[in-house]
Structure 1
């Protein structure tokens, strides 16, 4: 996003928040009309896609410091969709979804076809392909997983529109079925906990009989992938596990390393 566009979006979202926020509030509701009103008052031309303003701050950009500074230590503001054209700034427990670079790596023999690696068009598409061809969702979860659908865009009651990069169906040795929604991110992309909340809401509404394991996959490098699993706790979204998988050629995985893996905890 250009600096000029981000500055325009920042002024609009800041004006909306400050109009309604009062000290001590943990939720600040607003609607799509407020975006149009704020832009008019500020003399800012709105983009053709008004939703891009909210999308930017929900998934790509940090909220303005004037909003961030009102949160107590250990908490942060996120923007939730609450229905059709209605939204809320919500104060939640702060969670940072970034790879822990001190975590041990696990080498996996890279099964991605060379032709796929050559013509992958974007970080996200390349990452999703590597997850599938190397069965990394299976390895990480310990389940047998099948890709059900990618780039799902749908609506959830009380949430509005949600987007999930890929849905997997998982099966364990007891025959229990799981739904595994996966969000894929490039090395420079931010991961927002609002996406995890939406994936959980999607599972509750569309697949209530399945156990849900929301996940995030993120490139550290093009050959090193971090995988995270989450659950919803009384204090909000929490990370339950994180693993890093290094995709290598056969000559880069030694017998000594394989023996080391045998002593690692599951």
Structure 2
């Protein structure tokens, strides 16, 4: 998206916020239909893809400074879905999910077919492929997990349309069955409260008899991947577990590495 496009999006979103905002508000609802009217009033071209306007501020970039500066100290505004073509600005505590710098890195013999690495389109696709071929969901969660569908688009009551990057099903030694939404973060995309919340809400609605375990994966380097298990506690997204995996040739896993890993489970 060009800078001109981003500025147009920002102007429209900021004006919608200004028209609805009242002092002390913690949630401000608006409809997607308002975008066309606001664009006309501002004398700028209507965005061709209204959904992309919303998506970009939900997951890719910060809200305009004119919105951000109205948030009280320790809070920030986000955009969330409220139904089909319905949204809201919501005041929340910031969630920053970034890989720790002091965590032990576990070396995994890389099972990614070389041809996949040669032709994977985009960071997100490459990341999902590496997670899948190296069974990182299984290793991270300690269960047998199987990819059910990727880029699942569906609707969730009270939220509207969502997309889950990849959905796994799993089973453990006791026979418990799991539904595992995986979000992949590559490039400039950031971990977001909204995606975790909507992934969990979708799984609870569509798979009520399965245990939902929400996972997020992020490239640290082209071979090193951070895996997070996320949950919601007291209305905030929290990290339940975090591991870092380095996909390397098997010859690079040394006896010293294996001794370190044995000690972690003693």
Q: TM-score, normalised by structure 2?
A: 0.96
Change in 2 beyond 3 A, CA 1:188/1:49: closer
- SS state at 2:33 partner: helix
The equivalent of 1:112 in structure 2 is: 112
| Moved >6 Å (runs of 4+) | none
Deviations 1:158-208 (A, max 9, x none): 111010011011111110011100011114322211000110110111001
> Where do 1:22-33 residues align within 5 Å?
22-33=22-33
- SS state at 1:19 partner: helix
Change in 2 beyond 3 A, CA 1:148/1:174: same
- SS state at 2:220 partner: strand
Deviations 1:104-139 (A, max 9, x none): 211111011111112212211111111111100011
Q: Hey, what's the Cα distance between the residues in 1 that align with 2:217 and 2:33? A: 35
Q: Hey, what's the Cα distance between the residues in 1 that align with 2:263 and 2:137? A: 22
Retained in 1: the 8 A contact 2:228–2:239? yes
Deviations 1:4-54 (A, max 9, x none): 111111111001111111121100011112211211111110122111111
Q: Hey, what's the Cα distance between the residues in 1 that align with 2:10 and 2:163? A: 23
- Residue 224 of structure 1 and its aligned partner are, at CA, apart by 0.5
- SS state at 2:137 partner: helix
Q: Hey, what's the Cα distance between the residues in 2 that align with 1:210 and 1:238? A: 21
Moved more, 86-95 or 67-76: 67-76
Output the aligned Cα RMSD: 1.3
Q: Any gaps of 5 or more consecutive residues in structure 1?
A: none
The equivalent of 2:179 in structure 1 is: 179
Q: Give the aligned length.
A: 266
The equivalent of 2:18 in structure 1 is: 18
Q: Hey, what's the Cα distance between the residues in 1 that align with 2:206 and 2:184? A: 21
Retained in 2: the 8 A contact 1:93–1:235? no
The equivalent of 1:39 in structure 2 is: 39
Q: Hey, what's the Cα distance between the residues in 1 that align with 2:7 and 2:62? A: 12
Retained in 1: the 8 A contact 2:148–2:168? yes
- Residue 83 of structure 1 and its aligned partner are, at CA, apart by 1.0
